[in-house]
């Protein structure tokens, strides 16, 4: 039977994307692939020196290697046009398992109830359309108590509603995915590189949320292109509801000034391109105008880098917020908090002192 150390050693290796051979060669003294394999199968138990070595090599606290983690990750769902190798896929799965285990253990210390998703019940027989998607987005906003106002922090909102939101190290061409943990907890993971592109990050996690919400409806005879379009429609409608864009731009326009779009982007945290698609969806502008707009937008070099940035902050709140609280209240030690944050004691102490 594998020990916790054996399982976590393999998990650490997969998280970092290393082969057995690569790790064996990085250790001092070097060892054979077969010798290292015996540690991962539990045939050999670690010495104190070996534990320090692998802890330093993987830049993980020693406690990581003794953490019991029996979480099971469901099928990984992501955009099919993005290719992931088997090694990259294992890397993502292990990151989700590790982060999920640390969040769930922290909830236990914080005396929080079991993680439950505050889900909107959607009629399985509903015929999906752009207008139905917008209606469902507004219903979910109402259920979650955010009305039609701009959402300050989408990541924190999802956490509060029972979604496990996981930052992952992933290939640059990969934005996000959705899956479940233990078949009940919805998981949305996003590429950490998006943290400096907050409008794209917000849209990505809501796009993945749509995949989870409409899973049963998407089982019908829909093409991948249709499914991706519906998910984009939902993300846009959730960030900028029909009533909000109609109030801001009016019911019908022959043209829209860039300054108007920039103002909406700064307030609602949605890209100018997505705002234009929302304006088309609710009938404010025509298809011909949108086509002309995007043609000019590309000519000006604004297709990938827009002329104005969204400067709002997106950050995950639950884990560090509750670790600090439990340390201050004396419920857990700073060493334990550092372990659950996956940082050294010195790093967590500096974080506590805001240095």
User: In the numeric block, which tokens belong to residue 268?
Assistant: 């609602």
Could you read off the pLDDT of 300-320 as tens digits, one per residue?
888 778 999 999 999 999 999
**Angle value at C-alpha 327, between 317 and 157, nearest 5 degrees:** 15
**How confident is the model at residue 112, as a pLDDT?**
67
Q: CA 22 to CA 236: how far, in whole Å? A: 44
Total-model pTM? 0.92
What is the predicted pLDDT for the residue at 3?
86
CATH architecture for residues 1-68: Orthogonal Bundle (1.10)
pLDDT for 179 equals 96
* Gap between the Cα atoms of 201 and 207, Å rounded: 10
Domain with CATH 1.10.260.40 in the chain: 1-68
- pLDDT given for residue 109 in this prediction: 79
| CA dist., res. 338 & res. 336, Å (int) | 5
114: left (phi over 0), alpha (psi -120 to 50) or beta: beta
**Which stretches of the chain score pLDDT less than 50?**
1
pLDDT tens sequence across 128-153: 888 999 999 999 999 999 999 999 99
What CA–CA distances, in Å, run from 227 to 82, 231, 233, 282? 15, 6, 10, 19
Question: What is the pLDDT, as a whole number, of residue 355?
Answer: 53
Q: C-alpha distances in angstroms, 231 versus 203, 225, 318?
A: 10, 10, 26
Question: What string of H, E and C letters represents the secondary structure of the chain?
Answer: CCCHHHHHHHHHHHHHCCCHHHHHHHCCCCCCHHHHHHHHCCCCCCCHHHHHHHHHHHCCCHHHHHCCCCCCECCCECCCCCCCCHHHHHHHHHHHHHHHHHHHHHHHHCCCCCCCCCCCCCCCCCCCCHHHHHHHHHHHHHHCCCCCCCCCCHHHHHHHCCCEEEEECCCCCCCEEEEEECCCEEEEEEEHHHHHCHHHHHHHHHHHHHHHHCCCHHHCCCCHHHHHHHHHHHHHHHHCCHHHHHHHHCCCCCCCCHHHHHHHHHHHCCCHHHHHHHHHHCCCCCHHHHHHHHHHHHHCCCCCCCCCCCCCCCCCCHHHHHHHHHHHCCCCCHHHHHHHHCCCHHHHHHHHCCC
Crossing angle (nearest 10°) for helices 318-328 and 86-109: 40
CA distance 71 to 144: 28
């Amino acid at each position: 039977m594998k020990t916790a150390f054996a399982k976590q050693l393999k998990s650490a290796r997969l998280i970092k994307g290393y082969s057995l051979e690569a790790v064996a060669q990085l250790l001092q003294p070097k060892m054979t692939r077969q010798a290292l394999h015996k540690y991962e199968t539990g045939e050999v138990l670690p010495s104190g020196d070996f534990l320090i070595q692998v802890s330093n090599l993987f830049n993980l606290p020693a406690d990581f290697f003794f953490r019991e983690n029996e979480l099971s990750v469901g099928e990984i769902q992501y955009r099919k046009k993005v290719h992931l190798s088997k090694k990259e896929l294992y890397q993502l799965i292990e990151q989700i398992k590790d982060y999920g285990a640390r969040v769930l253990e922290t909830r236990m210390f914080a005396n929080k109830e079991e993680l439950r998703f505050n889900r909107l019940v959607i009629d399985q027989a509903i015929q999906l359309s752009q207008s139905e998607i917008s209606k469902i987005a507004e219903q979910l906003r109402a259920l979650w108590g955010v009305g039609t106002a701009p959402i300050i922090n989408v990541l924190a909102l999802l956490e509060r509603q029972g979604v496990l939101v996981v930052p992952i190290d992933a290939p640059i061409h990969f934005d996000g995915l959705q899956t479940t943990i233990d078949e009940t907890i919805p998981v949305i993971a996003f590429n950490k590189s998006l943290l400096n592109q907050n409008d794209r990050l917000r849209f990505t996690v809501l796009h993945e949320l749509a995949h989870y919400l409409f899973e049963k409806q998407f089982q019908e005879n829909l093409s991948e292109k249709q499914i991706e379009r519906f998910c984009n429609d939902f993300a846009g409608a959730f960030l900028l509801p029909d009533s909000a864009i109609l109030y801001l731009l009016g019911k019908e326009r022959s043209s829209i000034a860039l300054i108007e779009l920039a103002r909406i982007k700064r307030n609602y945290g949605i890209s100018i391109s997505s705002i234009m698609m929302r304006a088309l969806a609710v009938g404010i502008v025509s298809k011909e105008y949108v086509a002309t707009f995007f043609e000019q937008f590309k000519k000006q070099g604004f297709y990938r880098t827009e002329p104005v940035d969204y400067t709002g902050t997106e950050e995950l709140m639950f884990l560090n917020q509750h670790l600090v609280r439990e340390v201050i209240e004396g419920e857990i030690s700073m060493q334990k908090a550092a372990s659950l944050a996956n940082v050294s004691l010195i790093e967590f102490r500096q974080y506590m002192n805001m240095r």
